[in-house]
Copies of this chain bind each other. A is one copy, B any other.
Amino acid sequence: MDYYVGIDLGGTNTKIGILNIDGEIFKSTVIKTLSSEGAQKTLTRIWEATKELGEELKIDIKKIKGIGIGIPGPVINQSVVAFFANFPWGENIDIKSMMEEISGVETKLDNDVNIIALGEAKYGAARGSKTSVTVALGTGIGGGIYVDGKLISGFMGAGGEIGHMKLVMDGKLCGCGQKGCFEAYASATGLIREATSRLIVNKQNLLYTMIEGKLDTLEAKDIFDAAKEGDKFSLDLVDYEAEYLAMGIGNILNIINPEKIVLGGGVAMSGEILLNPMKEKLKKYALPVTLKNIEIVQGILGNEAGIKGAVALFN
């Protein structure tokens, strides 16, 4: 049997797994990334950890046919990283060649959110769909667009950066420095910002009580929890979240017309209380033809999406 290595390169930790081409994980491990040591050292350490995994599995290392890596940054041609979101590794680094030299194994890479989308498309919630878009709703909003077996990675590696689609002209300031981004409204952070702003002038609600007035501890989950208890203040916030989510996803539907939308990340885990109103509101934003037969589902790969998606680069 041939084996593949899936690597989810993260700001703090890096997850490494040995899988088969069907996305089945035989063994995985997590190591510290320690990116400050530089790309060469980090990649070498990742390869050492991979070989250890292989030994534990009693796998002949020559049977490893490919290494896939999810990268926190834009990746050009599945080989060169334009820049890293959090690493001091410089610009236009050819990680593919570097890893191939270290390991002697063919290496492919792509942006980490694109990789999650590929994982869901090949092995997860969108398996069997020709076209799917995965929307990662967390601290920020990321996206991956999968069409006919391939990711739309973009000319400079920025394909699928749906979180920075503008929904409001001259709107709320986003972490990217621009204004009115989808992410500034509908990410967990966007929801927390709106909630905090409202809580400053309205303290007569369950949410305020739940967090004991400590605004700086507020998490998106608190809002959904209070809403599930029937707190009107929190239900209004969920409505706000659903509205912008529908506008952003509606735009994706109009532009890509996918067969499936996969929602991942913390916000999506709130479940029906958010998804039901969002689906209803979609009718205002998406052309009717794009809603015909569309399925909007939650991702199923969870924490394993990164290493599975990385291996899917070879599938």
* Contact yes or no, B164 A293, CB < 8 A: no
* A210 CB-CB contact with B under 8 Å: no
Q: Tally A residues with Cβ within 8 Å of B.
A: 49
- A165 touches which of B169, B179, B251, B293 (Cβ 8 Å): B251
* Contact yes or no, B255 A255, CB < 8 A: yes
Tell me the residues in window 163-182 of chain A with beta carbons closer than 8 Å to chain B beta carbons.
164-169, 176, 178-179
- A147 touches which of B147, B168, B251 (Cβ 8 Å): B147
Q: Which residues of chain B have C-beta atoms less than 8 A from A158's C-beta?
A: 254, 257, 287, 289-290
- A167 touches which of B155, B157, B169 (Cβ 8 Å): B169
A289–B176 Cα distance when bound, in Å, is: 12
Tell me the residues in window 257-305 of chain A with beta carbons closer than 8 Å to chain B beta carbons.
257-259, 284-285, 287, 289-290, 292-294
Of A74, A148, A150, A159, the most chain B CB neighbours within 10 A belong to A159
* A145 CB-CB contact with B under 8 Å: yes
A178–B291 Cα distance when bound, in Å, is: 14
* Contact yes or no, A290 B156, CB < 8 A: yes
Q: Which residues of chain B have C-beta atoms less than 8 A from A251's C-beta?
A: 165-166, 251
Tell me the residues in window 212-229 of chain A with beta carbons closer than 8 Å to chain B beta carbons.
none
- A254 touches which of B165, B258, B285, B292 (Cβ 8 Å): B165
* A154 CB-CB contact with B under 8 Å: yes
Instruction: Count the copies.
Output: 2
* Contact yes or no, A155 B293, CB < 8 A: yes
Q: Which residues of chain B have C-beta atoms less than 8 A from A165's C-beta?
A: 251, 254-255
* Contact yes or no, B159 A130, CB < 8 A: no
Q: How far is the CB of A93 from chain B (nearest CB, A)?
A: 15
* Contact yes or no, B176 A155, CB < 8 A: no
* A243 CB-CB contact with B under 8 Å: yes
Q: How far is the CB of A225 from chain B (nearest CB, A)?
A: 27
Contact with B along A242-255 (1 / 0, CB 8 A): 01000100111011
